[in-house]
Amino acid sequence: MRGIIHAAGVGSLENISEMKQSSLDCVLKPKVRGAWLLHQLTQTRELDFFVLFSSAASVWGAKQLGHYAAANQFLDTLALYRHSIKLPALSINWGSFTERGMVSSTEATF
């Protein structure tokens, strides 16, 4: 194995004031727990790449996507952390995919 692409994620539209713990967990888990486990399980391997699918929501926020923005901010921070310990990482802050995917299906407003 020469590298990892972490693209898992879950999206839902909710106001922070009405957000339930279960909803927060659902959105954080695949990104925070998933990416951290991949980091931990592979940090002794010599990888060429470790790519994380983050979002523009992490950079400037998004209406009703506070949980999703936080999950993606973790990915960005994990990439910085990996750089600090001399491991490869690239966190991509994608904008909306036009045809398919979670953001177009939930009609998020950035």
Binding site for ligand NAP (CB under 6 A): 7-10, 29-30, 34, 53, 55, 94, 96-97, 101-104
Shortest Cβ distance from residue 54 to ligand NAP (Å)? 7
Do 68 and 19 contact (CB within 8 A), yes or no? no
Q: Alpha-carbon Rg of the chain, whole angstroms?
A: 14
Shortest Cβ distance from residue 2 to ligand NAP (Å)? 21
Looking at the Cβ atoms of 25 and 86, the one nearer to ligand NAP is 25
Looking at the Cβ atoms of 12 and 84, the one nearer to ligand NAP is 12
